[in-house]
Amino acid sequence: MSQLPPSQRVVVTGLGVIHGLGQDATTFWNSLTAGKNGIDRVTLFDPTPFATQMGAEVKGWNVEEHMDPKEARRNDRYTHFGFCAAKQAYADSGLDMNTEDPDRVGVVIGSGIGGMFTYETQLKKLHESGPRKVSPFTIPALIGNICSGMFAIEIGARGPNFGIVSACATGTHAIGEAMHMIKRGDADVMIAGGAEAAVTPFAYASFCAMRAMSTRNDDPTTACRPFSLGRDGFIMGEGAGVLVLESLEHAQKRGARIYAEISGYAATADAHHITMPDPEGKGLGMAMTRAIRSSGLNTDDIGYINAHGTSTPYNDKFETLAIKRVFGARAPSLPISSTKSMTAHLLGAAGGIEAVISVKTLQTGILAPTINLHEPDPECDLDYVPNTAREVQVSAVLSNNLGFGGQNAAVVFRKV
């Protein structure tokens, strides 16, 4: 088997999204650029006892319309989202496994937390009814690599297949590592992204105990306010974002439509604190610098940043410092937005969803806004595309994600 040269370029040929703002990439993007908010009071459980009672849920969606009902019952909600987003992306790419070498097609779909619904449901059965009532599918359903395995079974892909776990950097790490697999010749095609379904009582109780989430329950639509003076924490979302990546040579050979090139990626660690980002932004700054350098670009080429922008006091301040560290005098004129103001924070799926946003930005020439930005924090003094989408043609986009454990990821997409 011949290997691709190390300089092989990698492109995006398929997009898939499951989210409360849209259950396909186009609907999701249209909602986002219109400034719609996907955050409301939680309905998946009674949130009344919780300090945070808001979330961005996927509503009005029946997994059994997209997945074999028997398999759907055996799998967790996070796998439902990732599987269906991957199915969309695969269909969007026009790939046909009847004409592909299955050994050269892989899947890497990560999850920061994995099967929380399964964990909570089966633990309750154990406590209430005893060990014999626990489902034999419990372990396969809750572990974080099963979404990748399920989709590989669906299309018969026998290439690289696993799940990445790096908290809120998971989706970006999955996409970046999948790019490298193609570059080093391990695959021609990779289906990559992130999926999460952690709008559950145990997850909420845990994050509330950390005081990490917003408690503005009286007005969910304005509670998530990245870079604003009054921000008080993130809000949980659920869903999935998945890309189809291919070598440029492979995509051209089959006449595929190419959305963008994924040209740079880097992963670093803060080595500072288990939950708090480096207060000087050194780790994230290094990730951005390395991603831009590996893309063959310089900072002047980046036209837009999709920020991690969680709406927590520390993250938004330190990410702003990191951007200033990397872009210097140009930082104030560089458009940046936090789409989490509308999507909420999808944890391990954030990087997948935001990769789709980055690609759609290049395709459409529209920058999605940071909504709820009416009282800027003086320490967050950059151009965050406040409240209204902006039409700007850009040729390269940088997307950032950070995770508990001090893990940073940055990825660059550019026009082909």
Asked whether the beta carbons of 169 and 265 are under 8 A apart, the reply is: no
Which residue has 């696993």 as its token pair? 162
CATH topology match: 11-253 vs 265-414: yes
11-253: CATH number? 3.40.47.10
Return d(Cα 79, Cα 258) in angstroms, integer: 27
Sign, CA torsion 238/243/244/246: negative
Across the chain, which has 416 residues, the per-10-residue mean pLDDT values are: 59 98 98 98 98 97 92 97 98 98 98 97 96 96 96 98 96 98 97 98 97 96 96 97 98 98 96 84 95 97 98 96 97 98 98 98 98 96 98 97 94 97
The predicted pLDDT at position 2 comes to: 37
Which residues are catalytic, by number?
Answer: 168, 308, 345
Return d(Cα 207, Cα 310) in angstroms, integer: 14
The predicted pLDDT at position 3 comes to: 43
What are the angstrom distances between the C-alpha of 214 and each of 112, 347, 354, 392?
20, 15, 21, 32
Angle at CA of residue 11, ends 103 and 267, nearest 5°:
90
The predicted pLDDT at position 7 comes to: 61
Architecture per CATH, 265-414: 3-Layer(aba) Sandwich (3.40)
For residue 193, list its beta bridge partners: 109, 242
Domain boundaries, the chain: 11-253, 265-414
The predicted pLDDT at position 168 comes to: 96
Cβ of 219: how many Cβ atoms within 10 Å? Answer: 10
The predicted pLDDT at position 275 comes to: 79
Angle at CA of residue 162, ends 291 and 255, nearest 5°:
65
